[in-house]
Structure 1
């Protein structure tokens, strides 16, 4: 990404459509035109929901039931996956595993309760390396029964696009070079916030969602003093100061803090820093909050057993500059590419499993488990953060602990979506 490309994004902020607590009962997937480039430059032919990309922000209260009809008015089969929600298996949105593919002109009804408050999102789960890149995604916010007091609750999606100067998306979505390397990296990136301005002294909640199909964003903030309060929708037991961090595809980060100046979202690269957008200042809050940021209510999740019922290794193999493996595609888990008739593992409901995620490749991978959250284990074996997507750097490993308490067949895959499409996916079954 060159300097001009990034600087073009400054001030080019696209506001998210906001549905409020009255969520739309229909999400209609269809072709849309989007103003990805700054106003006055060309528009981009995309896919979206209800006339826009990203799709409308869905908001419900914790414990409520979300009912949505997915109406597919695109030219390809599709489905909706509700990323991070611990929902009934039949509603998970994986064609061929939990539901049939929703063909063009057809619809599918999703209905599920929302057990966890937090920041989640929805996206296509068929040809997702292309359909998500074209815009088939949107935010899903589950509010706490008693949410923290803030002046603004702002959703911010991070994305990149491979785009021409005219605004047209570049083609080649399924090219093998992207699949074998880091994925389809865009040449243009910016933030997509639900509002564009704040006041000095406002206390705000920022909900960051990385919707890119491949890019890990190293992020730095200016203009916000506060705490990180949740990761992947799950509250931290103890909030931690806002510092530079990485957010992998599909991961989410919640922050609560006080506005000290225009809030800049900075992309940190080896040789420079680029602004992906900002929330501008409009006025001053004359009665700012003066209390510490407190932890969000603890999640209602089962704690893993100290001694697991099963211990497994999941080795990531393949890709460019990678070693040989026994699979029949570019990437593999433990020498196996893609789905097989038998699951990677079976678990009795309530069992604790430890996985060692071993990255024996030259690229980072974000490993996502459907239907569950898991604890990342620290190097000393202690329990760390609760997540649904774990970033494993090249040549590194990460141990996780999962309580498999949600029955069904669940996908386990890399959320660098080109890697998933070319072999890096499997499934587990909970009986």
Structure 2
């Protein structure tokens, strides 16, 4: 699956474009188009037509039903320009309602594409017209927000160029590629949801047991008391997933071509339903230049973790030869793989999967307790934190604030949650090379300085055995009439506390927030999605300056489906004494 060997230096006129078999809008001339043949088509212009329909998809030895947009999985790359007004006509040819959410885009809320929150959805046979101005630049993506369609292939990439990109190409790179990560499974998404409800370990083939020598009897009893397993890393794994790059599985031999000496921009999008990926190119350093579409001061790393719904742009200067572009699933049950190569047809050797990841005390919100022995002492009362009636400190619901609803939806409570912004991601804290951390990110341009006038704490809660997920113990179906309220232009500091032992990528629609990561208030990086590590906290500052109703949710699809979602309302708050 070769990529065209086209660089920006070579695309100097329409003749070169015609010879390459590519079309390009006048405003994009001079930019690299080498991403345009990576498994999906490309659409641009002021009016774009998209059609949602049933499809059959195959990769490697797996095949099954899919949902395609304009006939492909992933759907087409939508290339836009800052400052334009775009109309996107979306026709639903399915036998069920559908939608498209423009992930990370700033737009009027009625065009955000979330049924039940910002619009009613698109009924079978109908066309919905999305019309909005393009106010930003960067790397983003689009996907269905209806049911579990995203899992079935209903997603695609977005690239927004600067207003003057057609005559002011970026001098930092010579070649521009989109790398869209996802998964494919022949199982119907609702079957997966049902299996997770029946047994949350259904897809886990890496469980630790006493019998295989990986766990002592004492540790097994301790984890059993929590009704958890230290290999509970991912709910859905490579046991049923094939991991994709631009719709291509590892057997498809996807290539990204370059010429020696070129600087290559990789726009990496995690468009998966349930997978955190660890990204590396063994032997090639990566310079991170943007996070969630927003530019950051360049950071050189060897590897980084990308949560579901995040995007990172990196620049690499690979030496002559073939290099493996690796997207290893966080639980190390499989990987997406492609060749970054200067020799067409030459496949880079994939590295072996690394050892499975095992959870630690810090992942249980006991970061200051030391090791399992410390937990055992705590369990037997030596720590002074455990109520006599509690079977384990992680079930002490008295530690929760009063506004958290305690009930069957909560079976985990982090006793000592700590700020984990400096944590590189599960499994990456003990590698011997440089790994990106949120604390490395600094906004490339200074943000307006405003102190928050209010603070808010939101707990991420769940019950693994019942597969119930929520904010503050309240599942979405129970809180639709009780949204999170912000006053227009209000500046709020929000602290997310993860009381569970799973990492959650939390996404706020319609806004960018600033990570409170030690960068200083003028350079806190802007993001639309933040990973909240197990048993940890993450804090952001939000200027609520986009009026309307917005979705706020965990971007692990089955967690959102099981209730970890809320509505955020931004409008003038009622003044004291008003009806």
Q: What's the TM-score bracket when you normalise by the shorter of the two chains?
A: 0.7 to 0.9
* Partner residue in 2 for 1:426: 566
* Partner residue in 1 for 2:353: none
Q: Distance in 2 between matches of 1:373 and 1:235?
A: 13
Q: Distance in 1 between matches of 2:67 and 2:566?
A: 28
User: Structure 1's 318 and 407: CA in aligned 2 closer, same or farther, altered over 3 A?
Assistant: same
SS at match of 2:560: helix
Q: Does 1:34 align with 2:57?
A: yes
Shift, 1:214, TM fit = 0.9
Shift, 1:376, TM fit = 1.1
More helix by share: 2
CA deviation map 1:301-339 (0-9, x unaligned):
963522x122101101113169xxxxxx81121121105
* Partner residue in 2 for 1:336: 474
* Partner residue in 2 for 1:356: 495
Q: Does 1:184 align with 2:236?
A: yes
The TM-score normalised by the length of structure 2 is: 0.62
Contact (CA 8 Å) 1:304, 1:403: kept in 2 or not?
Answer: no
Q: Distance in 2 between matches of 1:155 and 1:95?
A: 28
Shift, 1:224, TM fit = 4.1
Shift, 1:273, TM fit = 8.8
* Partner residue in 2 for 1:172: 191
Q: Distance in 1 between matches of 2:76 and 2:46?
A: 8
Contact (CA 8 Å) 1:215, 1:248: kept in 2 or not?
Answer: yes
CA deviation map 1:314-371 (0-9, x unaligned):
101113169xxxxxx8112112110524443322221111111100012111100000
* Partner residue in 2 for 1:249: 308
Contact (CA 8 Å) 1:184, 1:213: kept in 2 or not?
Answer: no
Contact (CA 8 Å) 1:122, 1:138: kept in 2 or not?
Answer: yes
Q: Distance in 1 between matches of 2:119 and 2:93?
A: 18
Matches within 5 A, 1:26-425: 26-37=49-60, 43-127=63-147, 130-145=148-163, 146=165, 147-149=169-171, 150-163=173-186, 172-175=191-194, 177=196, 182-186=234-238, 187-192=241-246, 196-222=256-282, 224-236=284-296, 238-260=297-319, 261-268=321-328, 276-282=337-343, 303=448, 305-306=450-451, 308-320=452-464, 330-339=468-477, 340-378=479-517, 384-425=524-565
CA deviation map 1:109-135 (0-9, x unaligned):
0111121100011100011xx211110
Shift, 1:189, TM fit = 1.2
User: Structure 1's 282 and 252: CA in aligned 2 closer, same or farther, altered over 3 A?
Assistant: same
SS at match of 1:277: strand
Q: Distance in 2 between matches of 1:190 and 1:241?
A: 25
Q: Distance in 1 between matches of 2:68 and 2:315?
A: 29
More strand by share: 1
* Partner residue in 2 for 1:4: none
User: Structure 1's 197 and 362: CA in aligned 2 closer, same or farther, altered over 3 A?
Assistant: same
Contact (CA 8 Å) 1:54, 1:138: kept in 2 or not?
Answer: yes
Instruction: Flag the structure with larger Rg.
Output: 2
Unpaired stretches in structure 1, ≥5 consecutive residues: 1-13, 284-294, 323-328
Contact (CA 8 Å) 2:142, 2:158: kept in 1 or not?
Answer: yes
User: Structure 1's 226 and 318: CA in aligned 2 closer, same or farther, altered over 3 A?
Assistant: closer
CA deviation map 1:152-181 (0-9, x unaligned):
211001112234xxxx76871322526957
Contact (CA 8 Å) 2:322, 2:343: kept in 1 or not?
Answer: no
Q: Distance in 2 between matches of 1:343 and 1:85?
A: 25
What's the RMSD between the two structures over aligned residues? 2.9
* Partner residue in 1 for 2:206: none
Shift, 1:44, TM fit = 3.7
User: Structure 1's 411 and 272: CA in aligned 2 closer, same or farther, altered over 3 A?
Assistant: closer
* Partner residue in 2 for 1:3: none
* Partner residue in 2 for 1:291: none
Contact (CA 8 Å) 2:101, 2:113: kept in 1 or not?
Answer: yes
SS at match of 2:559: helix
CA deviation map 1:50-77 (0-9, x unaligned):
1101011010111212211110011211
84-93 vs 254-263, greater mean Cα deviation:
254-263
Contact (CA 8 Å) 1:119, 1:252: kept in 2 or not?
Answer: yes
SS at match of 2:42: coil
Contact (CA 8 Å) 1:365, 1:392: kept in 2 or not?
Answer: yes
Contact (CA 8 Å) 2:518, 2:524: kept in 1 or not?
Answer: no
Contact (CA 8 Å) 1:23, 1:59: kept in 2 or not?
Answer: no
User: Structure 1's 279 and 44: CA in aligned 2 closer, same or farther, altered over 3 A?
Assistant: farther
User: Structure 1's 15 and 296: CA in aligned 2 closer, same or farther, altered over 3 A?
Assistant: farther
The TM-score normalised by the length of structure 1 is: 0.82
Contact (CA 8 Å) 1:206, 1:254: kept in 2 or not?
Answer: yes
User: Structure 1's 380 and 241: CA in aligned 2 closer, same or farther, altered over 3 A?
Assistant: closer
